[in-house]
Amino acid sequence: MSEASVNTRFLGLKDVKVHVGDTGGTGRPVVLIHGWPLNADSWAEQKPALAQAGYRVVSYDRRGFGRSDKPGGGYDYDTLADDLAGLLEELDLRDVTLVGFSMGGGEVARYIARHGQERLHSVVFAGAVTPMMMKSEDNPDGPLDEATAQEMSSQLEADPEAFFDQFTREFFSAAGTTEPLVSEDVRQQAIEQSRQADKSAALKAMEAFGTSDFREDLKAITVPTLVLHGSADATVPFEGSGQRTHAAVPHSQLRVIDGAPHGFNASHAEEFNSALTQFLSE
């Protein structure tokens, strides 16, 4: 599928304009919600595969990221979920599958908690930050500690270029290694997407996905659910996230891609797309 076959435009929501890509058509809609600090271009391997399978593919840049407006606030998950709700309403999308990657998984959970499931057919948590990243006394299995979170924030604040270079290496590398499982061109594209993020938005969104608690949100999910994760994810480790999300949504399906890093929708695109399209067809 060529880029020209995707209609892109800015969609005005309550207080922000977001950049949306839409393949159109009459197929059942699949809405792709990107990870941090990337944008909708990070779904390059999924959009053509889903469109070819007959789905209407909608992707958008989260506020503060990519080509969307970059306001001073609104990077908490309540607001981000409301942005998603506004997009579904403006496009009048129904029978939707929401696919939330990494940070985007939090938007899926919070959307359901705040807006229900009337418009939804199913949901996918792909390498998602749910149920809660930050380790604490009441969340001892959280995969993120305060010292690491503070170090990430300080590094991004001090030198974004150096931070994004290191972050994308881990993003695409299997845990315990430093060799990205994608081409250098793909990694550079991810760095370029990261540069498009507003620095303040990136810092506030980092705090949001690091500290937000989705444990109660997950309990509200009754639609068909797929938890998709890489076994070698060093950024959002499976044991502290995907495994716990699967346990929190008892009816969910679990698919773990062996040896896959966090950025597995690029590094293991064929397996990722196969798992996703199989779930969508059920």
Residue range 167-197, pLDDT digits in tens:
999 999 999 999 999 999 999 999 999 999 9
Q: Which residues are catalytic?
A: 102, 233, 262
pLDDT band of residue 7 (cuts 50, 70, 90) is confident
Residues in CB range of 198: below 8 A, 6 or more apart: 64, 65, 70
3-state secondary structure of 71: coil
Sheet of 7-12, strand order: 7-12, 17-22, 56-60, 29-33, 96-101, 120-126, 225-230, 253-257
Contact yes or no for 215/248 (Cβ under 8 A): yes
Contact yes or no for 100/128 (Cβ under 8 A): yes
pLDDT band of residue 126 (cuts 50, 70, 90) is very high
The string of pLDDT tens digits covering residues 76-96 is 999 999 999 999 999 999 999
The string of pLDDT tens digits covering residues 237-256 is 999 999 999 999 999 999 99
- What integer pLDDT is reported at residue 5 of this predicted model? 60
What share of the chain has pLDDT > 70, as a percent?
A: 98
Structural domains of the chain, ranges and CATH numbers in brackets: 3-281 (3.40.50.1820)
Q: pTM surpassing 0.75?
A: yes
